[in-house]
Amino acid sequence: MKLVKSLLLGSVAGLAAVAGAQAADLPAKKAAAVEYVRVCSTYGAGFFYIPGTETCLRVGGRVRAELRYVEPETRDQDAIGFRARGRIQLDARTATAYGLLRTFVRFEITRDTGVYGAFVNTPNVDQAFIQFGGLTAGRALSFFDNGDLPTGHFGTLRFSDAP
């Protein structure tokens, strides 16, 4: 038994020594230069330069999920519902000789099941606009809007067609 044990340990030690010697003999290769992403602090936190340009980009988003239970009146009614909403937004800004050029896009998708609705997917382009020299063109919320407030509740004010 001692002979088998010493043979196994000796074999493992020999293999480790040979592998280490071969790894030390490998030539060192020079890595190619890579243009890394640079942080753009001009427009606030989260922006970075798009490589090869002077355009700053911020990518953001969020995911929200909720579950609702409603006491059913009959056995065939849905008692539980699930809603999930995902949002992704892109904000690109470039300084030009005539002022700031900004493009903004926000996409949303909502999935409802059960008491919220019968398996409904609602994709939506919530906002998409271009700003240049103080002018805004596209679908944008005004300063009086709050797209995160639910509609139909007393006291909620809306001044656009945002759902």
User: Quick one: three-class SS letters along the chain?
Assistant: CHHHHHHHHHHHHHHHHHHHHHHHCCCCCCCCCCCCCCECCCCCCCCEECCCCCCEEEEEEEEEEEEEECCCCCCCCCCEEEEEEEEEEEEEEEEECCEEEEEEEEEEEEEEEHHHCCCEEEEEEEEEEEEECCEEEEECCCCCCCCCCCCCCCCCCCCCCCC
In the prediction, which pLDDT does 137 show? 87
For residue 96, is it within any domain? yes
For residue 46, is it within any domain? no
Q: Do the beta carbons of residue 110 and residue 121 sit within 8 Å?
A: yes
Quick one: what percent of the chain has pLDDT higher than 90?
24
In the prediction, which pLDDT does 8 show? 47
Residue 57: pLDDT band by 50, 70, 90 thresholds? Answer: very high
For residue 150, is it within any domain? no
> How many structural domains comprise the chain?
1
- Is the overall model pTM greater than 0.85, yes or no? no
Query: What's the whole-number average pLDDT of the chain?
Result: 76
Each residue's pLDDT tens digit, 72-131:
888 887 788 888 999 999 999 999 998 899 999 999 998 888 887 767 788 888 889 999
For residue 9, is it within any domain? no
In the prediction, which pLDDT does 87 show? 93
For residue 72, is it within any domain? yes
For residue 94, is it within any domain? yes
Q: Burial level of 93, CB count in 10 A (0-12/13-18/19+)?
A: buried
For residue 34, is it within any domain? no
Q: Which domain holds residue 104?
A: 62-139
Measured distance CA(34)–CA(37) in Å, rounded: 10
For residue 91, is it within any domain? yes
